[in-house]
Amino acid sequence: MELKNTKATANVSVFHSLDWFTIILYLLLVTAGAISIYAASYDFDHASMFSFEEFSGKQFMWIGLGLILGLSILLLDYRIYEAYAYPIYGIVILLLLLTIFIAPDVKGSRSWIVLGPVSLQPAEFGKFATALALGKLFSSYNFALNANKTNYYRALMIIFMPIILILLQKETGSALVYFSLIFVLYREGMSGLVLFSVLCAVVYFVVAVKFADPLILGIPMGEFTVLLIISLIFCCMLLFYCRDIIIARNVIFFFAIYGIVVTVLSFCGITLNGIIFFLSMLGVGIIYVAIAMLRHPVQKFLTTIAFACIGILFLFSVNYAFNNVLQPHQQNRIKVTLGIVEDLRGVGYNVNQSKIAIGSGGIIGKGFLNGTQTKLKYVPEQHTDFIYCTIGEEEGFIGAVGVLVLFTIFILRILHIAERQRTAFGRVYAYCVVSYMIFHLGINIGMVLGLCPVIGIPLPFFSYGGSSLWGFTILIFILLRIDASRKERRD
Amino acid sequence: MRKDYNLSKRRYVIGGFLCLLVIIFIIRLFDLQVKQDKYKDSAISNAFLKRVIYPARGLVYDREGRLVVFNQPAYDVMLIPKDVGSDIDSVALCEVLGITREELQQKWADMKDPRRNPGYSAYTPQKLISHLSQEDFGRLQEKLYMFPGFFIQKRTIREYNTSGAANILGNIREVNANDVDRDDYYRSGDYTGDLGIEKSYEVALRGHKGIEILMKDAHGRIKGKYEDGKHDIAPESGRNLTLSIDMQLQEYGESLMKGKIGAIVAIEPATGEILCLVSSPNYDPSLLVGKERGKNYASLVRDPFKPLYDRAIQGAYPPGSTFKPTQGLIFLQEGVVTTSTMYPCSHGYVNGLRVGCHGHASPIALKPALQTSCNAYFCWGFKHFIDKKGTKPSQQFEKWKNYIVEMGYGYKLGVDLPGESRGFIPNSDFYSKSFRGANWSGNSIISVSIGQGEVLATPLQIANLCATIANRGWYYTPHVVKSISDSVIDNKYRTKHTPNIKREYYEQIAEGMRMAVLGGTCRGANLPGIEVCGKTGTAQNPHGKDHSAFIGFAPYNDPKIAVAVYVENAGFGATYGVPIGSLIIEKYLNGEISSARKSVEERMWNSNTIISSGVKKH
């Protein structure tokens, strides 16, 4: 009986073992997205929600076609994705390359291929292809990221190929998305120190640039704070990372005494320059650790010293680069983003209008279709990159947080799915999806809320556009297909 | 295997990172949406255009219910600078507005000039061009979509059914920085009353502005009413005024004053309502409406005959002999004289100094003195009063001054028109100062008794005296507004003022004034069928020929009108004052001039005394 109907049961079991929780979340997000697009593009002489003349009508069409696409993905054998991972990646890379040459120039970027009435953005499809290829690489026999450097290079090559091509299309935002795959590398064994360093670099940069004044000990507050953080991290690393209580204690004791003395002196009117203070303090600390280490050198002490030294160098080079290398308009864009300067007509217009729109929503919002800011086209790109504004304005704090929570559950669910995979292929693929989602969510909403620079990337499932929706739909449904057959797989 | 287990724990780092991110976002959302209000306010100013709907200004009727001042629509081109794109088609704009590029640039520069337009802000509606013609308005309305940030503000401007009475009616002008500071009601570009009742009744006339809340998009284009106008505030029209002025009489008075400098004030004695208030030369109030206002205003200001100067209430003239009744009243009240007291007149008052007089019987009593306008009688009376035994001249003079002030001189009467002058009545300090502490007596200041010297009065004050005599001892503050729709006129115009002089003395004065008409200086005012009382005045002045003045009221026993006429540099009171005053009385009481007196009317219309004024038109 069972033997006879293998094929049929296989198909049935796909739907039986599908992760319906994810599908329901997906449908919720997509529907909420289409409704938001309707709200965002609602005009006073509007047509119906489902009219193909309207953004929302078109979006429903994209959703319909996307669901058919998703269904087809589910019906295909899961092995296809693993087997054809590299060919798919190759085709997409070729397509990305082709795009540079055949795409028309739209506002300076060449990323859209026009096929009759529809335009497609191949960059959106690069995501799942890259994820498949990475999965394939990590699932190759006896592959371990940390085994040798070649493995790193191979992984990085897969990641950087689309980045370079998309950068050549001048779609910086879409290219940056691939940097999120650092999470995948981290999960697969890359040192946490790298992730930590990246995080520190971002924090140092933001703090150093943002707080140019007031001056503390004759140096800007930003620099002061970063130097303080570097000193604290140095102590913490000695304490928790090197786990050498005696050395750590001595260093902390010295730092504390030195700090107190300088503080007291500054109250008495004798002010020590901040840079001299920190450099002398850290210098003494580093030399002490280095001398102590000479007896029994330990890798971790070296790392700790390097971390502090690189941090200081980074800080000074950031200051130098920001003031001397960046063009004034670039400096301005960063300053506006960090809220240092207010430029309501120029770079800051989008962000300010989007903050006004969201802020005016209050706790419960103005009600569906009652938003005035987004509806009256104060927020540019309101149905694409700034779609979250409409939600914030019309559904208020409750709605905005609701959408965030929905996304969080969705991503955590995928994280859960990722960890239950029995193959490296499935797991790496799922982690790629998680990385993309976190990056899109973080950058898009951060941008709308005025927390990070205006980088034009869409909010998954919400922003208007067939390519983006299909790109994420393909990502999710391939994941679901792989997940549905995880139990059939025997390694 | 163990290593793998460790790596799978890294999902918590990634999941934790996500959660941290989301928490930061939620905090930020809380800050933006719940904690701060400023974004809500920004959104309102962003998306809403609060368009002011100007109420129709109150209409003005005359005492007979004839419409005098009404409204006509006018269109101002407004814009919100920040919403005006940098790429507006200025060529098309000039074409639509029918102006040249230079004019447009000038208007633009004027709008932004902080001195001309102190309320300039890129975020609020600013006026670019005012008073668009109906055709220009139609053209612009059609093409408005081409000019984001522009809109048309409908207002009303004044239109007049008369070419006179400008001194009473006043006009409206755009508010200036002071107005905006003084009164919260005004916004830059609003209109306010200037001169006349438009100024004094501004608050009643202007009504209350309404607000229409419109939604506009980021390009400043109007997208319809917010919530179908649920939050709009309807404008409240200004109140209508009914003047006490009889426009026919007013226009008639103006026609009589043509070619003369001076004033006519006619008052209904029983109510204090001013029937006509002529100031000559006058101007057409329509000159100060619309596009040409600025130019016309400047030329009126430059006019050497000062048409903007309302001589009826602002001119301070020596009252001359029209002042004599006040003296008679004081002498009687103070017991200086009785009706039978006689004073000698030997062609004048001769007592160390000489005040000339003309030929009449001597000695003379009060009533004949009024009849013949004897200077000597009033000089003697004044001297006896001031130099009364057992008193000081300064004390007596203070007493005298108080009577005069009670009769409405020396201070503003409080007419409901702006810019009233108080005239001048000296007090004893004034003389102590001007005589530098030296002793002074009645003789030293004798000329005030015949309305010369330091005494100055406005034609309105002179007319008010006449009305008081007509009433035999009381008056209401003269006013030009009879009633305000849905409101009442100020209480001060309904309060009787009674000088501290007995009614019977007023009766004596009235009799004297009646005698002047029957057989004295005012014979020209003796109208068949109307018992007119009058008193001439011929006032010497430093500017040239004597001023011709007249006060009169009629009918004698039931006065309906009290009039004062003052014609500068026109000679004897009987030459111009009497004919004009009597024509006004006749016109008002009979509605027309009898055929016998047409020649007088003709003579007044055709005469010109302006040539004797010494003012030269360049």
Chains A–B, number of C-beta pairs less than 8 Å apart: 121
Within 8 A of B222 by CB-CB distance, chain A residues are none
Is B142 in CB contact (< 8 Å) with chain A? no
CB A378 to CB B47 under 8 A? yes
Within 8 A of A412 by CB-CB distance, chain B residues are 15, 18
Nearest C-alpha neighbor of B145 from the set B92, B99, B98: B92
CB B223 to CB A404 under 8 A? no
Q: Is B164 a member of any domain?
A: yes
Min CA distance, A333 vs chain B (Å)? 21
Same structural domain, B215 and B276: no
- Nearest 5 degrees, angle CA A451-CA A440-CA A222? 30
Which of A189, A356, A411 is nearest residue B18 as measured by Cβ atoms?
A411
For testing the chain A interface, which of B5, B17, B33, B84 should be mutated: the one with the most A CBs within 10 Å? B33
**What is the chain A residue with the closest CA to B224?**
A44
Same structural domain, B215 and B342: no
Q: Is B278 a member of any domain?
A: yes
Same structural domain, B369 and B431: yes
CB B26 to CB A372 under 8 A? no
Q: Is A266 a member of any domain?
A: yes
Min CA distance, B166 vs chain A (Å)? 49
Same structural domain, A418 and A314: no
CATH number assigned to the domain comprising residue B95: 3.90.1310.10
Nearest C-alpha neighbor of B534 from the set B339, B368, B370, B406: B370
Residue B14 predicted with pLDDT over 80: yes
Last residue of a domain, one of A299, A319, A336: A336
Residues B428, B398 contacting (CB under 8 angstroms): yes
- pLDDT given at position A370: 66
**Range of the structural domain that residue A327 is part of:** 213-336
For testing the chain A interface, which of B18, B48, B223 should be mutated: the one with the most A CBs within 10 Å? B18
* Letter string b/e over residues B262-282, b meaning 16 or more CB atoms within 10 A of that residue's CB: bbbbbbbbebbbbbbbbbbbb
Tokens of A381: 């790109």
Min CA distance, A36 vs chain B (Å)? 18
CB B47 to CB A376 under 8 A? yes
ipTM of the complex: 0.84
- Nearest 5 degrees, angle CA B581-CA B582-CA B586? 120
**Range of the structural domain that residue B569 is part of:** 255-284+309-613
Min CA distance, B123 vs chain A (Å)? 13
Same structural domain, A184 and A263: no
Same structural domain, A267 and A392: no
Q: Is B119 a member of any domain?
A: yes
Q: What is d(CA B348, CA B582) in angstroms, rounded to the nearest whole number?
A: 28
Residue B618 predicted with pLDDT over 50: no
Single-letter amino acid code for the residue at B224: G
Same structural domain, A301 and A364: no
Q: Is B318 a member of any domain?
A: yes
Is B28 in CB contact (< 8 Å) with chain A? yes
Residue B431 predicted with pLDDT over 70: yes
**Can you name the residues that pair with B212 across neighbouring β-strands?**
B51
Same structural domain, B401 and B529: yes
Same structural domain, B131 and B185: yes
Same structural domain, B368 and B495: yes
Residue B2 predicted with pLDDT over 60: no
- pLDDT given at position A4: 44
* Pairing verdict, β B60-61 and B126-132: unpaired
Min CA distance, B122 vs chain A (Å)? 12
Same structural domain, A170 and A245: no
H or E element that contains B193 = strand B191-194
Same structural domain, A307 and A371: no
Q: Is A461 a member of any domain?
A: yes
CB B39 to CB A358 under 8 A? yes
CB A397 to CB B29 under 8 A? yes
Nearest C-alpha neighbor of A413 from the set A89, A9, A21: A21
Q: What is d(CA A259, CA A282) in angstroms, rounded to the nearest whole number?
A: 11
Q: What is d(CA B425, CA B457) in angstroms, rounded to the nearest whole number?
A: 8
Q: How far is CA B275 from the centre of its chain?
A: 15
Higher pLDDT, A90 or B280: A90
- pLDDT given at position A6: 47
Last residue of a domain, one of B169, B194, B219: B219
Q: Is B518 a member of any domain?
A: yes
Tokens of B393: 């001249």
Q: Is A11 a member of any domain?
A: no
CB A412 to CB B15 under 8 A? yes
Question: Backbone dihedral region of A377: left (phi > 0), alpha (psi from -120 to 50 degrees) or beta?
Answer: left
Which of A44, A373, A418 is nearest residue B43 as measured by Cβ atoms?
A373
Choice among B119-128, B156-165, B410-419, B452-461 with the minimum mean pLDDT = B119-128
Nearest C-alpha neighbor of A465 from the set A190, A118, A6, A197: A118
SS3 A275: helix
Number of domains in chain B: 2
Question: Where does B271-323 show beta strands of DSSP type E?
Answer: 273-280
For testing the chain B interface, which of A196, A353, A372, A435 should be mutated: the one with the most B CBs within 10 Å? A372
Number of domains in chain A: 2
Q: For residue A320, with 0-12 CB atoms within 10 Å meaning exposed, 13-18 middle and 19 or more buried, which class applies?
A: exposed
CB A360 to CB B25 under 8 A? no
**What is the chain A residue with the closest CA to B227?**
A370
Same structural domain, A188 and A278: no
Which of A186, A359, A438 is nearest residue B10 as measured by Cβ atoms?
A186
Tokens of B604: 């007044």
Q: What is d(CA B364, CA B5) in angstroms, rounded to the nearest whole number?
A: 137
Same structural domain, A122 and A175: yes
Same structural domain, A393 and A269: no
CATH number assigned to the domain comprising residue B392: 3.40.710.10
**What is the chain A residue with the closest CA to B220?**
A376
CB B14 to CB A441 under 8 A? no
CB B29 to CB A392 under 8 A? yes
- pLDDT given at position A413: 95
Query: DSSP of B4-17, one letter per residue?
Result: HHHHHTHHHHHHHH
Tokens of A460: 């998954």
Q: Is A489 a member of any domain?
A: no
Same structural domain, A298 and A271: yes
Residue B248 predicted with pLDDT over 80: yes
Q: Is A204 a member of any domain?
A: no
CB A359 to CB B215 under 8 A? no
Same structural domain, A356 and A300: no
Residues B275-287 have a mean pLDDT of 90
Residues B290-314 have a mean pLDDT of 87
**What is the chain A residue with the closest CA to B226?**
A372
Q: What is d(CA B128, CA A37) in angstroms, rounded to the nearest whole number?
A: 39
Same structural domain, B60 and B162: yes
Q: Is A180 a member of any domain?
A: yes
**What is the chain B residue with the closest CA to A189?**
B7
Residues 199-218 of chain B with CB under 8 A from chain A are: 215-218
Tokens of B106: 């000038």
Which of B22, B43, B226 is nearest residue A356 as measured by Cβ atoms?
B43
- pLDDT given at position B353: 78
Q: What is d(CA B373, CA B348) in angstroms, rounded to the nearest whole number?
A: 11
Q: Is B599 a member of any domain?
A: yes
Residue B478 predicted with pLDDT over 50: yes
| Residue appearing with tokens 């068949």 | B528
Task: Please give chain A's pLDDT, 491 residues, in tens.
Answer: 344 444 444 555 677 788 899 999 999 999 898 888 887 776 544 445 555 556 777 888 888 999 999 999 988 888 888 899 999 999 999 999 998 888 887 766 777 887 777 778 888 889 999 999 999 999 887 788 877 888 889 999 999 999 999 888 877 788 889 999 999 998 888 888 888 888 888 888 877 777 766 677 778 888 888 888 888 888 888 888 888 888 888 888 999 998 898 888 888 877 778 888 888 888 998 888 888 877 777 788 888 888 888 888 888 888 788 777 777 767 776 776 565 665 554 555 667 777 878 887 878 777 777 666 665 555 656 667 888 888 888 888 999 999 999 999 999 999 999 999 888 899 999 999 999 999 999 989 988 887 777 777 889 998 888 888 999 999 999 999 999 887 765 44
Q: Is B463 a member of any domain?
A: yes
**What is the chain A residue with the closest CA to B46?**
A373
Question: Where does A109-202 show beta strands of DSSP type E?
Answer: 113-115, 118-120
- pLDDT given at position B477: 93
CB A449 to CB B218 under 8 A? no
Choice among A108-112, B175-179, B285-289, B419-423 with the minimum mean pLDDT = A108-112
- Cα-based distances in Å from B528 to A209, B195, B467, B561: 101, 40, 22, 16
Higher pLDDT, A139 or B51: A139
Last residue of a domain, one of A336, A369, A401: A336
Min CA distance, A186 vs chain B (Å)? 8
CB A362 to CB B34 under 8 A? yes
Q: Is B304 a member of any domain?
A: no
Last residue of a domain, one of B172, B194, B219: B219
Question: Where does A343-423 show beta strands of DSSP type E?
Answer: none
Same structural domain, A48 and A110: yes
**What is the chain A residue with the closest CA to B217?**
A376
Which of B25, B40, B43 is nearest residue A449 as measured by Cβ atoms?
B25
- pLDDT given at position B339: 87
Question: Where does B217-272 show beta strands of DSSP type E?
Answer: 222-225, 241-243, 262-268
Residues B458, B314 contacting (CB under 8 angstroms): yes
